[in-house]
Every structure is written in C-alpha cells, then in structure tokens.
Amino acid sequence: MKVARYFGLGLMLLVCIVSLLSSSQNPKKADDLMSLIHEASGLRIRFSDVGWQWKEDDIKGTREQGEITFSDTKWLMYLIHWGPVQVPEITIDYVKDRMLKMWGVPFEFSGKEGKTEMAGHEAAWVEAYGTNKSFYTRFIIWNCPESGREFIADTNYNLQAQTPEEDFETEMRSARTVRCHENAPSRSFPDLIKKIEPRGCGLSFFIPDRWFMFDSPYYVPFPQYEGVRNEKTGSLLGLCSDQNISVTLKWYPADDLPEEEQVMGIQQEARRLLFEETKSQKHIENFQNHGMESFTIEGIRVSRIWGDCDFKTLEDKNANDFYTGKGIYQAARWNLAKAKKKIVVILLARQYKYGTSVSSPSRHAHDRFIKQLIINIDKDPNQR
C-alpha cells in the first residue's frame, strides 16, 4: 500500500502543477475568447474549446492596432503496466476492483465499460471519473498467456484543463498497438509513428511523435515488484511534449512589403519584421532561428520563422522547478486585404521536466494552430 500511496502522491503532484501553471481561475470558454478578440480587434475567429486562459492585462491596444495573449495547458497521463497474472480471467468487476485499489483515488464509475481484444487476447475495460471529476480514466486490462503477464493500459485526460478528447482516444489507439509477446497481432495507425521498445522488457508499442515515455517514477501496481523494471514487472509513463502553448495575436493596419529577392522562400524584410516581433516577447531571453518559409493557404500568403528559445526566470518557484527554461517559438505574419489588417502571431512552448525526463516540444502543435487560425479567421468581416 505504501507504493500505491507514493503513486497517488506523484499523480496528485502532476495534477497540482498543471493546475497551478494553467491559472487560478477555471478555464474560460472559447466563445468568450472569440467574443473578446472581436470586441478588441474587429476580427472574427473560430477557436476550438480547449481551456484557453488569459488575464485582463493580456489585452492591449485599439481596434486599429493591438494584441491579446492567451494560453492552453494540456494534461495527458498515459501508463502501460505489466506484471505476473493475478487472476485467470479478466472481468469488468475485476477491472473496477483493480482501479479502486491501485490509485488510492475514489473513482466514480461512469457506466461506460465493456469487452474488447488487445494483441489477440480478451480484455475488459472500464471508464471512471476521479478526484471530484477533475480527470477521466479508462482502464483496459488483459492477460497474455504466452508471456505469463497481466497488462494494464491506464489512459487519462484532465477535464479541468479541458484536454482535447482526441488525445484520450489516441491513448486507446496506442494501447491497441502493444505487442505483449512475440508475433502478437497488433494494429497500426498512421499518426502513431514513434516505436517504444524498452530494453529487456519484452514488449513494444507506438505513440505519436509529440509524446515521450519513461520509467514511471512512482508505481508498478503488482505485489511481486521488487524495484527493478524488467520483463516480469514494470510501468512506463507517457506525457505530451507539446503540453503547453502560449499565443500572442497581434493586429496592425495592412502593409504591402516591397518586392525583393527571396531567401529560402521568404522575403528578407518579412523575416526581419518577424525577428523584431519575436524579440518583443517579454518572456523570451534570447532565441535561435532554425527555419523560415512562405506558403499560401486559401489565397493568403504567409511568412513564418521558427526555432529554439531561452525563457526568462518565472516569478513562481514551483513553475521554475517544473520548466527547464528552454523551449521553442514560431512567428508568422500575413495580410487580410479585405479587413485591411496585418496579422502577426507568436507561439511559445516551454520544455518541462518530470521525474528524470524532459519533454521535447515540437513544431507539430504550432504548425497545426497556425493553419487552423488562418482557415478559421474571417477573411471579409464586411460581409457580416
């Protein structure tokens, strides 16, 4: 029971850190953010509802020229546990009992449960709310007779931080790629491209490129565990490298850059202006540019740069213990001709650490956000 308590403390520590870094307030609705942006700038944008946060002093300027900063902190906790077979048959009632005894968390079962197949084996799954419905969990458990092990896919997402449900379903799909014995049948998915094959553990599975996995620092839920992760017993913990994103959206009167020679597909004046915008970010100490390009989406010509950056020390000590001080940035600009505005967006993601591992934030989330922003911004507000 002592290890279970340590695991529960570790889980609660991660939840508390994420809650702290998100905001002291509950996440606001995307509708509120869209209305706020329209009121401040005249721009109409459609955002997905993913728990955006902002403060009053993050809104500056006028309808002609101004900016707004908002952020999103995701929370994803994905674990794979393995150990000796505990019961000859996995039932739904056994999964529920395992959940209640494993975490030290008073689960409230949602009623969603059933049977499935994992790596060619019969499996049972159960879903439940945890800690006053602050997060949601799905356990999938199966026995692997070939290796003599019980497997638990322990998938979670945070309701308070409004983690996208698609991440929760990605955890389920990742569990379906587990090979728990040699020649075990498993499924493949085009977005799960990173193979995890821990040495000496006799299993493998796939996760998205933007996740990272490491030995669970707190808990292996089998009484036979003796502190050494190997083929008999172990746990792996997965977190999302793109765990956080900060967005600064700026608007100016439209400008027409003079035609000039391009380098790597981008005008050098546009590059210079994007450098200046990046330097103006109050949280950045310095940055190193790694790429630049121009591209067109729906008839809009976009220029952007990206790279690594160092962040200034945060006022909150707990936040500084969580973050490494490093991260990535991306900056983009384009004109909305009919709205007579120039749009600039600067995206920041901080690298963070948990246990002995650190995240590897990627351009994936930034690229996706910019693309969706361009697609979902009203190109001609005069039509409304």
Got the DSSP string for 175-219?
Answer: HTT-B-STT------TT--EEE--TTS--BEEE-TTEEEEE-SS-
Q: Are strands 66-73 and 244-253 parallel, antiparallel or unpaired?
A: antiparallel
- For the domain 26-74+243-383, what is the CATH code? 3.40.1000.10
**99/135 Cα distance (integer angstroms):** 14
| pLDDT confidence of residue 159 | 79
Confidence label for 380 from pLDDT (cuts 50, 70 and 90): low
Q: Is 311 exposed, middle or buried (0-12, 13-18, 19+ CB in 10 A)?
A: buried
| pLDDT confidence of residue 180 | 97
| pLDDT confidence of residue 259 | 54
Predicted TM-score (pTM) of the model is: 0.79
pLDDT > 70? residue 258: no
| Own/partner long-range contacts of 266-270 (Cβ < 8 Å, ≥24 apart) | 266/292, 266/293, 266/294, 266/303, 266/304, 266/305, 267/294, 267/303, 270/294, 270/303, 270/333
pLDDT tens figures, 48-98: 766 788 888 889 999 999 999 999 887 788 999 999 999 999 999 999 999
**13/10 Cα distance (integer angstroms):** 5
Mean pLDDT along residues 188-214: 92
Under DSSP, the state recorded for 339 is: T
Length of the chain in residues, anyone? 384
The domain ranges of the chain are 26-74+243-383, 75-240
* Beta-sheet strands, E only, within the chain: 59-61, 66-73, 76-84, 108-118, 121-130, 135-144, 149-158, 194-196, 205-207, 211-215, 234-240, 244-253, 262-263, 266-267, 284-297, 300-311, 323-336, 341-354, 357-358
Q: What angle do CA 68, 70, 73 make, to 5 degrees?
A: 170
- For the domain 75-240, what is the CATH code? 3.40.1000
Let me know: does 55 contact 33? Beta carbons within 8 Å.
Answer: no
Tally of CA atoms within 13 A in the half-sphere of 109 that contains its CB? 15
Residue with tokens 């109050």: 282
pLDDT tens figures, 212-248: 888 876 789 999 998 889 999 999 999 888 878 999 9
**280/238 Cα distance (integer angstroms):** 34
Q: Is 294 exposed, middle or buried (0-12, 13-18, 19+ CB in 10 A)?
A: middle
pLDDT > 60? residue 25: no
DSSP reduced 3-state for 308: strand
pLDDT > 50? residue 21: no
| b/e burial code for range 5-34 (CB count within 10 A of at least 16 → b) | eebbebbeebbebbbebbbeeebbebeebb
Please tell me which residue, 328 or 298, carries the higher pLDDT value.
328
| pLDDT confidence of residue 102 | 86
Domains 26-74+243-383 and 75-240 share a fold: yes
pLDDT > 50? residue 281: yes
Mean pLDDT, the chain, integer? 86
Q: What angle do CA 179, 137, 127 make, to 5 degrees?
A: 90
